[in-house]
Structure 1
């Protein structure tokens, strides 16, 4: 999880003003609390960039947009506002009606979180629970930073199923017709 900035029952509008005013820091909003998001490691960055690049290449020319961790997401059903490592929106982009800046998406089809030692429990637990309430979300990937392992959560009606892909396997993203090889996602040209 991230470090709390101040425990206070902030309104969402207050959070937006704070987050938009902070250039060097990303803030997360959960149930009135505002948290400073922790920075990632070199390995985290490598895996996130590889994931973003491979998705963007495969979706080029389709009515989908791939966002990196600079794109804010709001879960309208729970109020969570955060910055997933990778997001994919297809079709019509829906922005948060309460964000006057127009910088917050609300309708991802795919979300990706790359774990770190400080966030892995939160990402797999509470944050994933928030994400699974997004009506448009079809697939959620929880990517290990320290092992070749991706948990793929898929929506089937009102239910979610889990597939775990390891080692040299590949992830089939059915909702966007993309295939991700773990060899490509975990490739590190510097070592």
Structure 2
């Protein structure tokens, strides 16, 4: 189950978009149920901005990097959320409400989540289970708040997702480009 439930009655996607437009709190939407998302800490925000900046620099001219203000939508599971960052290469495909309000990316190639004590289990399990249903998704990046450690789950052409971890002093590849762990954690 997603974070904290805002309501348990059925809420259409269009009603959800109306709620998001007027709310100061972000929500997730899962096939008619709306859940309030918790606010991030300073450290969470700092790490999210750092990895977004590193990706933007590495992928300049190739892909577009978006912040946590951009929603994604998983068509297969009818799930909408705001990851801590995402990357789209090529034309952006959008999911819109029936009345043309709101939009969410449906074709990210890379999604970033910054882990916290309250979201880590959810980000690693239920949320990942939704994300792997996105056909375009190639990499799922988890950034630890507790220590300099970044994990990447990669979708191979065949077989199971592959896992890679890099710690302080190490470099990992994100969408084919080297990213130094120390750069993400630098103040």
After TM superposition, is the score higher than 0.5?
yes
- The equivalent residue for 2:10 is 9
Question: 1:19-58: CA deviations, max 9, x gaps?
Answer: 1222x11111123221111111111111101001111112
Where does 1:151-190 land on structure 2 (aligned, <5 Å)?
151-158=151-158, 159-173=160-174, 176-188=175-187
- The equivalent residue for 2:29 is 29
Q: Considering only aligned residues, what root-mean-square deviation do their CA atoms show, in Å? A: 1.5
- The equivalent residue for 2:38 is 38
Structure 1 unaligned blocks of 5 or more: none
Where does 1:91-110 land on structure 2 (aligned, <5 Å)?
91-98=90-97, 100-110=100-110
Question: 1:95-145: CA deviations, max 9, x gaps?
Answer: 004462353110000000001111111001100110011000000001111
TM-score, L = length of structure 2: 0.92
Rounded Cα–Cα distance in structure 1 between residues aligned with 2:165 and 2:60:
27
Rounded Cα–Cα distance in structure 1 between residues aligned with 2:117 and 2:8:
23
Structure 2 unaligned blocks of 5 or more: none
Following superposition, which runs of at least 4 residues in structure 1 exceed 4 angstroms of deviation? none
TM-score, L = length of structure 1: 0.90
Partner SS for 1:133: coil
